[in-house]
Structure 1
Amino acid sequence: MQRIIVSAMLACAVAFAPTGFASDKIVILHTNDTHSQLMPDDKGRGGIARRKVLVDSVRAVNPATILVDAGDAVQGTAYFTLFKGNTESDAMNALDYDFQIIGNHEFDNGLEEFARYWKRVKATPLATNYDFTGTPAEGIFRPWAVKEIAGHRIGFMGIGLDPHGMVADTNFKGMRYINAIEAANAVAWVLRNIERTDLVVALTHIGYNDPERVSDVELARSSRDIDIIIGGHSHTAINPADSLSPASVVENSVGKPVLITQTGKSGRFLGEITIDSIGALPSYRLIPVDSRLDSRIDSSLTAVIEPYRADVDSVMAIRIGTVKSDMDQNEMTNFMADFVASEARRLTGKKVDLAIVNKGGVRGTFSRGALTVGDVMQVFPFDNRIVVLEIKGSDLLDNLMIMTRTGGNGLSREAEVVFSGRDKVDSARINDKEIDPERTYTLATIDYLANGGDYMVPLTRGKRVATSDDIIYTDMIEVFSHGAMKGRTLKADSTVRMHEP
Structure 2
Amino acid sequence: MIRNKIFKIWICPAILFLLTSCAPSLFKTGEGQFLLVGSDIPVDLAAQNFIHPYKENLEKEMNAVIGETTEAILKTGNGESALGNLVADFQKEFAEKELGYPIDISIINNGGIRNTLPKGDITLGNIYELSPFDNYLQILELNENDVLSLAEFAASRKILGISGMKITSQGEKILELKINGKDLIPDKKYLLAVNDYLANGGDGMGFLVEIPRKTETDYLLRDILIEIIKSKTEAGQKIEAKIEGRQKFD
Q: TM-score, normalised by structure 1?
A: 0.37
1:480 aligns with 2:242: no
Matches within 5 A, 1:396-415: 396-412=147-163, 414-415=164-165
Q: Secondary structure at the match of 2:208?
A: helix
Note closer, same or farther for the CA distance 1:328–1:496 as it changes in structure 2 (3 Å cut): farther
What 5-or-longer segments of structure 2 have no aligned partner?
1-35, 76-80
Change (3 A) 1:478 1:420: same
The amino acid that maps onto 1:372 is T
Structure 1 vs Structure 2 CA RMSD: 2.6
1:424 pairs with 2:173: yes
Alpha-carbon spacing, 1:394–1:373, altered in 2? closer, same or farther (3 Å): same
Structure 2 counterparts to residues 336-351 of structure 1, below 5 A:
336-351=87-102
Separation of aligned partners in 2, 1:302 and 1:471 = 40
Larger radius of gyration: 2
Instruction: Select the residue among 197, 201, 218 that pairs with 1:448.
Output: 197
Whether the aligned pair in 1 keeps the contact of 2:112 and 2:131 (CA below 8 Å) is: yes
Q: Aligned partners of 1:462, 1:313: CA distance in 2, in Å?
A: 42
Change (3 A) 1:94 1:387: same
**Deviation string, structure 1 residues 256-308 (Cα, Å, up to 9, x no partner):** xxxxxxxxxxxxxxxxxxxxxxxxxxxxxxxxxxxxxxxxxxx559969x869
Instruction: Give how far 1:472 is off.
Output: 1.4
AA matched with 1:363: R
CA distance in 1 between counterparts of 2:203 and 2:41 reads 36
* Secondary structure of the structure 2 residue equivalent to 1:454: helix
The aligned counterpart of 1:323 is 69
CA contact (8 A) 2:137 2:217 kept: yes
Which among 135, 138, 144 is matched to residue 384 of structure 1?
A: 135
Among 213, 225, 245, the residue aligned to 1:464: 213
Give the drift of 1:409: 1.4
Give the conservation status (yes or no) of the 8 Å contact 2:107–2:161. Answer: yes
TM-superposed CA distance for 1:359, in Å, is 0.7
**Number of residue pairs matched?**
202
Cα distance in structure 2, aligned partners of 1:302 and 1:337:
47
Q: Is the 2:91–2:224 Cα contact (8 Å) retained in structure 1? A: no
Unaligned runs of 5+ in 1: 1-92, 96-298
Question: 1:97-176 counterparts in 2 under 5 A?
Answer: none
**Is the 8 Å Cα contact of residues 344 and 387 (structure 1) preserved in structure 2?**
no
Task: Return the offset for 1:476.
Answer: 2.1
Q: Deviations over 1:38-58 (max 9, x none)?
A: xxxxxxxxxxxxxxxxxxxxx
Aligned CA distance change for structure 1 residues 394 and 371 (closer, same or farther; 3 Å): same
> Which string of whole-angstrom CA distances, capped at 9 and with x for unpartnered residues, describes residues 304-340 of structure 1?
9x86965663343111111111111111111110011
Identity %: 28
- 1:444 deviates by 1.0
Report SS of the residue matched to 1:335: helix
State the alpha-carbon separation in 2 of the partners of residues 404 and 348 from structure 1. Answer: 29
| Post-superposition offset of 1:436 | 3.7
Matched, 1:360 2:111: yes
Superposed displacement of residue 485, structure 1 = 4.1
On the 8 A contact 1:410/1:497 being kept in 2, the answer is no
Q: Of the two structures, which has the highest relative contact order with CA contacts closer than 8 Å and spacing of 6 or more?
A: 2
Counterparts in 2 of 1:326 and 1:392: CA distance versus 1, 3 Å: same
Q: Partners of 2:73 and 2:237 in 1: how far apart? A: 16
SS in 1 for 2:209: helix
The 3-state SS of whatever aligns with 1:474 is helix
TM-score, structure 2 length as denominator?
Answer: 0.71
- Paired letter, 2:182: K
**Contact in 1 for aligned 2:90/2:224 (Cα 8 Å):** no
Deviations, residues 138-191 of structure 1 (Å, cap 9, x unaligned)? xxxxxxxxxxxxxxxxxxxxxxxxxxxxxxxxxxxxxxxxxxxxxxxxxxxxxx
For residues 457 and 322 of structure 1, do their structure 2 counterparts lie closer, same or farther at Cα, with a shift above 3 Å needed?
A: same
Letter of the 1:426 partner, please give it: L
